[in-house]
Amino acid sequence: MKKQNAGLGEKLWNLIFPARCLFCGKLVPPGEYVCEACRKERPQAPFLRRYSLPGAGAEGFSVFSAAAYEGGFRKTLYRFKFRGEKGLSKPLGKLLAETAGQTGQRFDGVTWVPMTKAKRRKRGYDQSELLARAAAKELGLSCLPLLEKVRETETQHQLPRRQRLSNVKSAYRAGQEAQGKALLLVDDIVTTGATLRECAKALAEAGAVRVMGLCAADCAAIRTEEEKSL
Ligand SMILES: [Zn+2]
């Protein structure tokens, strides 16, 4: 009986908030998150950046992103981050899990790039934590609160490139539970990568054996209008 009620609840939910494509907003079947047209048009492989990181070996620190930060997807992320549409974490989590699956690597747990406690109180939620929790659920992994942001920083995109690294330096602290784990480090958008690198460094220093960045969107992967029309 309980199960039937849950089913009905879900049907009602889908009626009021039907599933929509994360990229163009078109209606999609319940549980889906990309329409057929967008799936065909999307690049087959995730966007990848590699950074050198002390202790990370020759491979360095990799950051995979599901999509470019542009068009309809950019609007979806704006609604998720600034308009309080927390429900978007579910389809976005599925997209992140799909991206993590494409890397072919195995992990012990998922964590995220946190905001300071003060900022979180002000916004009411931490969008990266919601993404990490949703992705972990899809991947069947634990979501672990391993990082803490210990001081407030300037908004990264308002700073000149050379100041971005020093702005986030030592702003994050990682807990002991990171020790011996291969971890997925989730954030919503990668801009310079300085914040992700600082978090990966803190996790590595706490004893994580491997850290891989996983983001919804990559700012540097934006294609120009000319390229799109080719
Ligand atoms: Zn679409």
pTM (2 d.p.): 0.88
Q: Which three-class secondary structure state does DSSP give residue 53? A: coil
125 within 8 A of 145, measured Cβ to Cβ = no
- Percent of the chain residues past pLDDT 70, beyond the cut: 91
Lowest mean pLDDT among 37-46, 66-75, 149-158: 149-158
Domain assignment present for residue 9? The answer is: no
Per-residue HEC secondary structure of 133-164 comes to HHHHHHHCCEECCCEEECCCCCCHHHCCHHHH
Which tokens sit at 164? 């971005």
Q: Residue 65: what pLDDT?
A: 97
CB contact set of 213 (below 8 Å; sequence gap of 6+): 49, 61, 62, 63, 64, 185, 187, 190, 193, 196, 200
Domain assignment present for residue 10? The answer is: no
Give residues whose Cβ lies within 5 Å of ion ligand 1.
21, 23-24, 26, 35, 38
Domain assignment present for residue 72? The answer is: yes
Q: Which residue has the higher pLDDT, 156 or 63?
A: 63
Domain assignment present for residue 17? The answer is: no
193 within 8 A of 53, measured Cβ to Cβ = no
Whole-number Å distance, alpha carbon 30 to ligand 1 midpoint, is 14
Whole-number Å distance, alpha carbon 26 to ligand 1 midpoint, is 6
Average pLDDT value for residue range 10-19: 78
Q: Please give the angle made by the CA atoms of 111, 31 and 13, to the nearest 5 degrees.
A: 100
Whole-number Å distance, alpha carbon 117 to ligand 1 midpoint, is 36
pLDDT category of residue 6 using cuts at 50, 70 and 90? low
Residue 207, number of CB atoms within 10 A of its CB: 13
pLDDT category of residue 228 using cuts at 50, 70 and 90? very low
State the chain's mean pLDDT as an integer.
89
Q: Residue 175: what pLDDT?
A: 94
152 within 8 A of 118, measured Cβ to Cβ = yes
Nearest residue to 66 (alpha-carbon basis) of 81, 48, 46:
46
Domain assignment present for residue 6? The answer is: no
Which tokens sit at 27? 């209606």
Domain assignment present for residue 70? The answer is: yes
Label residue 74 exposed, middle or buried (CB < 10 Å: 0-12, 13-18, 19+): middle
pLDDT category of residue 222 using cuts at 50, 70 and 90? low
Domain of residue 116 covers 45-229
pLDDT tens-digit series, residues 55-77: 666 678 999 999 999 999 999 99
CATH number at residue 141: 3.40.50.2020
Average pLDDT value for residue range 158-165: 76
Domain assignment present for residue 14? The answer is: no
Domain assignment present for residue 161? The answer is: yes
Domain count, the chain: 1
Residue 50, number of CB atoms within 10 A of its CB: 12
Whole-number Å distance, alpha carbon 19 to ligand 1 midpoint, is 11
Q: Which amino acid is at 42?
A: R
- Tell whether the torsion through CA atoms of 117, 119, 121 and 124 is positive or negative: negative
Whole-number Å distance, alpha carbon 60 to ligand 1 midpoint, is 34
Could you give the residue ranges of the DSSP H alpha helices within the chain?
A: 2-16, 36-41, 71-82, 89-102, 117-123, 127-139, 161-168, 194-205, 225-229
